[in-house]
Amino acid sequence: MQPKIYHVDEHKIAPDKIDSHAFYVIQKLRQAGHTAYLVGGGVRDLLLGTRPKDFDVSTSARPEEIKALFRNAILIGRRFRLAHIRFGQKVIEVSTFRSGATEEAGLIVRDNEWGSEEQDVLRRDFTINGLFYDPESQKVIDYVDGYPDIEKKILRTIGKPDVRFIQDPVRMIRLIKFCARFNFEIHHPTFEALLNCKGEILKSSQARIFEELLRMLESGSSKAFFHLLNEYGLLKALSQPLAAFLDKPNNQALQLLGSIDDEVRKNTSFDRSLLLAALIFPLFQENVTERNKREDRPLHLGQIAEMAHRTIDQIFHPFFSIPRRMRGIMGFIMTSQFRLIPLDGKLRRPKPPRDAFFPYALHLLKLRAGINPELLSHYTVWTEASFASHEPIEAPHPRRRRRRRRRRKSDEKPV
């Protein structure tokens, strides 16, 4: 198959938009006799006129050959072996051309069959992600008609959509993600396959889906994403309680996500525990309010904390497994909303807790006050009290996991 070539006077990608480290990686691979291009989302974003978050490289070099060329490279993955080349905090992901694009409907469990650049494109998910870019000749190389799909704002799978979704059901999540981010129209056969194959999503790795959901909460397009995820029926398969809640008219979950999106677009960064707590807090608040009405006396914070953890389990189990630390922070943020605003709604003299995660709880109250102006006085009082009582507490940085040192035989005690 001969690809279509688009030159710089057509695609308008400016050379200074190309990451210098990605360009260096491509040049070094080519000097060693390998083929190498920019590929995937970075090329798509350049054509859309947005700044790519990542610049990925695809090459004819095998993973071991990549590692031999770059001292700063590490090899990762079993199902999908590739190299990460580090430049300080930046990572350039380098993958080897792969084959294996079949029309057999079966879950892909391994993806390490090496192939040509054409074969590599044909096994990718959507046409808009199937473009190569040569930064030296400034050419876009298109085997799958991805360039006109970007111009027409169409999302279309490469190959038969139902087969593609059965092979890797996470592609359905990614389809909705691109629809939410770019406001593209889904090609009709691709949309029909999405509706027909949505049940396949439960065959996917929960870790991969969970990561996609977290990334969308951080994307600035989370409101549109969760709305579409629910409208197309995938959220019901992943979390029936959350889907049922989002079906209710005027629910505040999507409004909170809209407020988060506004802040993300202003370059505000959020801890992932706070994002998840904000997503499910309106449902939790409804549960607490209903139970409080049934009780003879107001619920105390211990009971509310227990309900917070039960709500987390109710929404995310059995498909998702929330890490213990994240679950604990979420429970604290959600419970703290009823410390900040008691169930009776009275404004009391606040005493801010000396807890490292209290700023997260206060941030959620700020988001809630953005859609419920009557909460603004509570937020103002707690913020002023926080500054008056002590130096503002900085939210902690995410902990890095420490690697365990393997015990050597010489370290072992004699029996």
- Say which DSSP state 18 is in: S
DSSP 299-366: PPHHHHHHHHHHHHHHHHTTT----HHHHHHHHHHHHHHHHHS-TT-----------TTHHHHHHHHH
- Report the 10 Å Cβ neighbour count for 375: 19
Pairing between β-strand 131-134 and β-strand 139-142 as defined by DSSP bridges = antiparallel
Active-site residue, 56 included = yes
Answer yes or no: are the C-beta atoms of 208 and 170 closer than 8 Å.
yes
Q: Which of 54, 134, 145, 262 is catalytic?
A: 54
Q: Tell me if residue 92 falls in helix, strand or coil.
A: strand
**Contact (CB, 8 A) for 52 and 148:** no
Tokens representing residue 70 in the block: 């770059």
The one catalytic residue in 45, 56, 168, 261 is 56
Q: Which of 291, 201, 280, 294 is nearest to 245 (CA)?
A: 280
Which residue among 111, 125, 261, 271 is the active-site one? Answer: 125
Are residues 7 and 102 in contact, defined by beta-carbon separation less than 8 angstroms? Answer: no
Q: How many residues does the chain have?
A: 415
Q: Judge contact between 367 and 256, C-beta under 8 A.
A: yes
> Does the active-site annotation cover 54?
yes
Query: Helix, strand, or coil here: 258?
Result: helix
Burial pattern 71-90, b for ≥16 Cβ within 10 A else e, equals eebeeeeeeebbbbbeeeee
Tokens matching residue 90: 């930046």
Residue 296 is a catalytic residue: no
In angstroms, the CA 131 to CA 141 distance is: 6
Q: Which residues are catalytic?
A: 54, 56, 125
